[in-house]
A and B are shown apart, each in its own frame.
Chain A
Amino acid sequence: MPRFLNEQQHSVLSAVVDRLIPPDDDPGASDAGVPDYIDGLLGAFTYDPPHIWAGGPFSGRFGGANGFTSFHRLTATEELAWRTRIEGSLGIPERERLGPVAGLQQRYATGLEALGADFTSLTPQAQDERLREQPEFTALVYEHACEGMYGAPEYGGNRDLIGWSNIDYLGDVQPRGYSDEEVSQP
């Protein structure tokens, strides 16, 4: 269920992240749910509490209960910062203290549109060309793609731990940790 993006935007975004972190012998970014991670960030305030900071102390993957699924509440000031970042300043004076802020929602909406409605039907080479024509937007999506690929799955990406298993990485290992032997030996 998309939180912010519409279906069209979601499918363009899926095509984009698959050029940034493509499938090869291992699954790529859209297999790992990266578009859902980005959609979850853009729509963080459609959840209560908002999906900004996952809880603690453990994820349950190596023992204990999963505390990551219950997100932290934000104070009013923290909400101001994150709404400004995500929604933009929108002419609201308290959001423009340091000048107008273009929100992530707007940057995604404009960026995806600029890639063209035909983006999904282009050849990979032509898609890459379009991405290179929008270097700023591509850099933004790439940052988020890396976060969605290799961040904790509770944020919507790294589905079935695809990101971590691609790179043979266990992620958070509390409360098990690593034994002295695992730390000191090859």
Chain B
Amino acid sequence: MLINDGIITLEELKKALPPEERYGKGPVAIIECLQDIPCDPCVSACPVKAIKMKEGITDRPILDFDKCTGCGLCIPKCPGLAIFVVQKNIAPGKASISMSHELLPIPLKDQMVTLLDRAGKTVGEGKVLRVINPPAYDKTAVVTVEVPEEKVMDVRAIRVNAGGQP
């Protein structure tokens, strides 16, 4: 359970997931922020206003999956590093996931990295598809990795073993 060990179970995550058919329409954000905390940078980060809070800043964010374009601009603005963008079926059996990465080294495009789940367990290896790290992101890189489609709901962090940008 999230409140006891910091690991969100898939049951707990259900209320933050898009309906299955949404994945057919392209990348979509998944906001793994399930607690009512006084925080809201995600709301103003979204250019299409897809993130809303019902009662204001202390509510949890609710994503309008139809409005979300999967652009990923909200990812680096979230101090909880709780926003991921998932794109299924980028190739047969492959999906991609984008996430914030604030550890050195920053990986390079096409580099193989270790894929970690919500408990920090290794679930495999994946290729880095994209690294976005402009000054506007203020040292939070957004890394997109390729993962086996059946693992896309498990992978939530990466470990860069060697090389990368210093």
User: Is the A/B pair a real complex?
Assistant: no
Residues of B with Cβ closer than 8 Å to A?
Answer: none
